[in-house]
A and B are shown apart, each in its own frame.
Chain A
Amino acid sequence: MSGNLTAWEKVEIARSPNRPTALEYVDYIFDEFMELHGDRTSTDDKSMVCGLARIGEQNYTIVAEQKGRNTKENIERNFGMPNPESYKKGIRFMKQAEKFGRPIITFIDTKGAYPGITAEERGQGEAIARSMFEMSKLKTPIIVIVIGEGSSGGALAIGVGDKILMLENSVYSVLSPEGFASILWKDGSRKEEAAEKMKLTAEDLYGFKVIDEIIKEPIRWSRKNCFRKCWRKFKTKNYRNY
């Protein structure tokens, strides 16, 4: 894609159901991946995918926010909106990574943490805080990659790392442009204007020094090309030389 996209167009690309989801990146990047489940307290929340992966002889722990690609998958994945238990699951795997000295790679792709009655009852806010708290204490390297939408605390909860990367057409912001417009101007329909004002593109964030690097995406954006490009880039640059 050309660099002349508006901020809102980037938001639309980042949200596109055709964009690869975390598990697809994982499959393409790593030689081997084994998904493991459970927060060991009450549930296995499927909006967060955790597991062990390997490239060559190097092992990694994966913590990733997972959207579905169709309605059925999305219902199973709670539309990629994590519950408090998701973060607890993430912390469990990250602590284990520290125990065994594995670097952690997190993939961010969420509209935000799940806003619901049950999530509040079980302490959504605290769960996000706890996740950042634990991540900042970990003695193992953490690479964070924003692959699609990075909205709000739901994204940042697994976004505390040593290197923060963003795909060229992903976005990362304090909340969705719709939410921003509705809070500031009481008019959610002014989302395009909001997207522009919010400075949520990878370039903007790089300018703010919030992220370390932008991962270029192919000019002619297609699923296949995107995979290939990312795969090559991740493998050669970001992981091998870490």
Chain B
Amino acid sequence: MIIDKIKKRSTIGEEPASSSHADIPVGKWVKCNKCGEIIYKDKLHENNSVCPLCNYHFRLSARRRVWQITDEDSFKPFEELQNIKTVNPLNMPEYIDKLTSLQEKTGMTEAVYCGIGKIKGEEAVICVMNANFFMGSMGSVVGERITYSIEKAIELKLPLIIFSASGGARMQEGIISLMQMAKTSSAVAKANEAGILYISILTDPTYGGVTASFATLGDVILAEPGAMIGFAGTRVIEQTINQKLPNGFQTAEFLLEHGFIDKIVERKDMKDTLYKLIKFNK
């Protein structure tokens, strides 16, 4: 029982399950991963899920992210994408089990949420990856949804905005996951030729096959402060080269210094910045 309560405290994003004991608030407090401050959850959400003390940007669920950057009730998800299912190419029953349980738990059908929404009145195709779902990994369904969204942006001549948060390609779908990198990259190339504005936002964490495909191909690449972004994970690099990695390695700030990011944008300024960028490119 107590263990359950502690566990619930550490979850953020979705509303907590209701408690039978109304007088005991459960899951109302969150501990900051960076400074350790205990924050009242409502307060945290009011502050865009950013620690008021140390400016740590908590990971966001896709729904909350969409809610933060789009105008009220303007976001319409692509319904036609909801029923695309993986064929489970490696025939792993435990993969389907895990997928089903995650779908029940998060209420999302896959690790990316796509649709059309308005940002201060400017319409755009928006995709948001969900790190809470299979670590945001890219399998065939995620690849297809992203590609479909890019093609939709070309068709409707709308700006394309993708929030990445992913551990990389989804191992459970093997080579088919790898191929999503080529598929999404080709789609971005088509969008580029069609003159579509593509704004890519790298959020914590963006790694592997997502970094190495559509996420780093934006006309403008933004990142949230402190987000971890890279190709190979830090542990893999450390084990391979047998060296300790420098402080701040693979952070958004590190990438800015090395020329891979246009601008680091705090969450509270994200909607405004996206709006401005769309206006600049009209």
Which A residues are within 8 Å of any B CB, using their own CB? 32, 34-44, 52, 54, 59, 85, 89, 96, 99-100, 102
Contacts and interface: CB of A to CB of B under 8 A. Distances in A.
A59 B280 contact: yes
Given A96-B219, A100-B195, A36 B258 contact: no
Contacts, number: 55
B282 interface: yes
B256 A44 contact: yes
Given A32-B276, A34-B277, A100-B197, 18 more contacts: A34-B276, A34-B280, A37-B259, A38-B221, A38-B258, A38-B259, A40-B259, A40-B260, A42-B259, A43-B259, A44-B257, A44-B259, A52-B281, A59-B279, A85-B259, A99-B195, A100-B219, A100-B281
Contacts of B197: 100
A85 B279 CA distance: 28
A39 B257 CA distance: 10
B238 interface: no
B219 A43 contact: no
Nearest to B259: A38
B262 A36 contact: yes
Contacts of B256: 37-38, 44
B187 interface: no
Contacts of B192: 99
Nearest to A36: B262
Nearest to A52: B280
Interface of B: 192, 195, 197, 219-221, 256-263, 273, 276-277, 279-282
A215 to B, nearest CB: 26
A38 B220 CA distance: 10
A39 B259 contact: yes
Contact of A42 (B221, B258, B263, B279): B258
Given A32-B276, A52-B280, A59-B280, A37 B219 contact: no
22 contacts: A34-B276, A34-B280, A35-B263, A36-B262, A37-B256, A37-B259, A38-B256, A38-B258, A38-B262, A40-B259, A42-B259, A44-B258, A44-B259, A52-B277, A54-B279, A59-B280, A59-B282, A96-B219, A99-B192, A99-B195, A100-B197, A100-B219
B263 A37 contact: yes
A85 B257 CA distance: 12
Nearest to B220: A36
Nearest to B216: A40
B222 to A, nearest CB: 9
Among A34, A38, A99, max chain B CB count under 10 A is at A38
A41 B276 CA distance: 26
Nearest to A45: B259
A35 B220 CA distance: 11
Interface centre among A34, A35, A42 (most CB of B within 10 A): A34
A96 B198 CA distance: 11
A38 B256 CA distance: 7
A54 B280 contact: yes
Contacts of A40: 259-260
Contacts of A35: 263
A54 to B, nearest CB: 7
